[in-house]
Each structure stands twice: as structure tokens, then as C-alpha cells.
Amino acid sequence: MRKYVFGTGLLSAITGGLTLLRSARSDEPFTWRTALAWLSWGITLALAIGSVVDTRRAARAKMIPLDSPVADRRNDLLRERLRR
């Protein structure tokens, strides 16, 4: 579970969210740029979580979509799982 929680994609999404929260506390008004930043952060977080889910499913020999970033490494992940 550690390798999923401490993945670089998930950590960068969390730190990006913390940065946005810090900027939201300031007295600056909420503009369209701020809305786009929050939308971008939400998409980044969703992609990071989706990658973690796909990696876990591939390691457990379950079906994953072919457009997943780990679809090419599916067999390697399964071999690693079986080796343990």
C-alpha cells in the first residue's frame, strides 16, 4: 500500500492542493483564473487516483482499460505480484 500512497503523482496533487488552499486564505478575490486552477487540480487528482487504481488492479491480474498508463506494464506487474 505504501507504493500507492507515496506515488509521485499523488504527492504532487496533494501539495498542489495545499498551495491552492493557502492562496484561497488570502484576501484576493475569486477570479476565473482561480477557478481554472481549482479545476486543473481536480483533474490532476482524479488522474493520479485513477493511475493508482489501475496499477493495483493490474497487479492483481484484473482487467484494466487499454488507455491506462499502466496497460503496457500489466504483465510485469503481474510477474512481480506472483514473485512475492
Residues 24-37 have pLDDT tens digits of: 888 888 899 989 99
Residue 65 to residue 67: CA distance in whole angstroms: 5
Model pLDDT, residue 30: 86
Q: Which of 69, 37, 35 is nearest to 53 (CA)?
A: 69
Domain chopping of the chain, boundaries: 2-83
Residue 41 to residue 16: CA distance in whole angstroms: 7
pLDDT exceeds cutoff 80 at 66? no
DSSP classification of residue 59: H
